[in-house]
Structure 1
Amino acid sequence: MPKSMGILGKKVGMTRVYSDLGEATPVTVIEAGPCTVLQVKSEKTDGYNAIQVGFDAKKPSRVNKPMNGHFQKAGSDGFYHVREFRVENPEEFQTGQTLSLDSLFNVGDIIDIQGKSKGRGFQGVMKRHGFAGGGAGHGSGFHRAPGSIGCSAWPSRVIKGKKMPGRMGNDTVLKKNVIVIDIRTEDNVILVKGPVPGAKNGLIKIFTK
């Protein structure tokens, strides 16, 4: 996990932007921030330095009483997403502070983006690991199976880490060194080059470098 400052966002989808020369660049549109600092944690009181932030406002009627009191300390009604970012100097932040795109990022910055990949359920080795499979003809009795997976007399077992069928996706994925193409502060939108992990409306963590 990167120990750097960042902001929370929501994946909107993908599109393309054009340069002055007409070159098309695929971009992912992320609605990022504003985020509210809910709690400042320090090594002296909590054992580590971090800030807790909230994103995507929630109605007070949808917040339980313990969290309602926690949110009220920051002067807010509530949020759907609450996450932490490690920071080096927690004294630079204060509860109730608002974090926005223009205060953290600039066009051309290199950033890291973390999201949860799409869940694919239980899949075979061809889809999960890219195995070639067997012949497709009617005479073949070997189409999509993994083939031999074990050894003979020694060591008479399947080696750990063998690529096998299993659950695919729904993993936390960190994509590094993503380029910021554009920032539209009036819409709280950031455009980054290429795809990012996750489905539409999925929660995204954007880290500064």
Structure 2
Amino acid sequence: MSGLVGKKIGMTSVFDSQGRSIPVTVVEVPASVITQIKTEETDGYNAVQLSSFDRKAKNVSKSVKGHFDKAGSETKAVVKEFRDFLPEGLDVGDELKAEDVFQVGDVIDVAGTSKGRGFTGVIKRHNFSGVGDETHGQHNRLRAPGSIGGASDPARVFKGMKMGGQHGNTRVKVKNLSVAKIITESDLVLITGAIPGPNGGYVELLSKPSAY
């Protein structure tokens, strides 16, 4: 699956050919450097390692810097591997740009880390409705989870019960979005709909199986 690494900038809207306003997410997708190519013969599977977004060399370890030096690349902040993606005619040290991988109208998946919301209750985490009836003696149960299990049978709480806990800060993939526009001079890709993570967060743009 081919793909590139991007940084979420924010949301805006564009007009389509019929004059309809389409909400889009703006993603910065600078040129990615191929820092390693893995093949079935040497690694057991086919993949390409892409590195993007500049990072100061003093902020990486010597081993990491040596990896970039071997590829003839400056040190980068984000390194991602895309399996079963071997761009034809390109080798280690070459660059891939958004227009080399995507075209307007392509259907893609976007993966990233969702916003971390800390420890939240059942209403925010699982969309419980709460009691909602304050006039019948419910003064402290409005946002409580309610009953979570039986009494003497089964005498325990089943695993997987919807309760309060850590919310967000997990890998999320949003499928079947489409590329609305590619602004090559600014290294921007406009994607229909919303994608995971906060503004400034890194995301992976994953295209459907292609000729690569």
Instruction: State the TM-score, normalized to the length of structure 1.
Output: 0.93
User: Given the alignment of the two structures, is residue 111 of structure 1 paired with residue 108 of structure 2, yes or no?
Assistant: yes
Measure how far apart 1:91 and its partner are: 7.2
Unaligned runs of 5+ in 2: none
From 56, 59, 62, give the equivalent of 2:59.
62
How many Å separate the matches in 2 of 1:50 and 1:178? 23
Unaligned runs of 5+ in 1: none
Measure how far apart 1:93 and its partner are: 4.3
Please say if residues 6 and 29 of structure 2, whose CA atoms lie closer than 8 Å, have aligned partners that are also in contact: yes
Instruction: Provide the residue aligned with 2:175 in structure 1.
Output: 176
User: Given the alignment of the two structures, is residue 166 of structure 1 paired with residue 165 of structure 2, yes or no?
Assistant: yes
How many Å separate the matches in 1 of 2:87 and 2:181? 29
Measure how far apart 1:60 and its partner are: 2.4
RMSD: 1.6
From 99, 114, 120, give the equivalent of 1:102.
99
Measure how far apart 1:20 and its partner are: 4.4
Q: Provide, for residues 1-31 of structure 1, a one-character-per-residue CA deviation record: whole Å limited to 9, x for no partner.
A: xxx1100000000001123443111000000
How many Å separate the matches in 1 of 2:118 and 2:80? 26
Measure how far apart 1:88 and its partner are: 5.2
Q: Provide, for residues 50-78 of structure 1, a one-character-per-residue CA deviation record: whole Å limited to 9, x for no partner.
A: 11111101122333211111101111120
Please say if residues 49 and 90 of structure 1, whose CA atoms lie closer than 8 Å, have aligned partners that are also in contact: no
Question: Relative to structure 1, is the Cα distance of residues 71 and 89 closer, same or farther in structure 2, using a 3 angstrom cutoff?
Answer: closer
How many Å separate the matches in 1 of 2:186 and 2:132? 53
How many Å separate the matches in 2 of 1:99 and 1:181? 20
Please say if residues 43 and 49 of structure 1, whose CA atoms lie closer than 8 Å, have aligned partners that are also in contact: yes
How many residue pairs get aligned? The number is: 206
Runs of 4+ in structure 1 over 3 Å off:
88-93
User: Given the alignment of the two structures, is residue 140 of structure 1 paired with residue 138 of structure 2, yes or no?
Assistant: yes
The residue type paired with residue 191 of structure 1 is: L
1:1-209 aligned within 5 A: 4-87=1-84, 89=86, 93-135=90-132, 137=134, 139-141=137-139, 142-209=141-208
How many Å separate the matches in 2 of 1:98 and 1:90? 11
How many Å separate the matches in 2 of 1:146 and 1:24? 40
How many Å separate the matches in 1 of 2:133 and 2:91? 63
The residue type paired with residue 64 of structure 1 is: S
Q: Percent identity?
A: 46
How many Å separate the matches in 2 of 1:135 and 1:38? 57
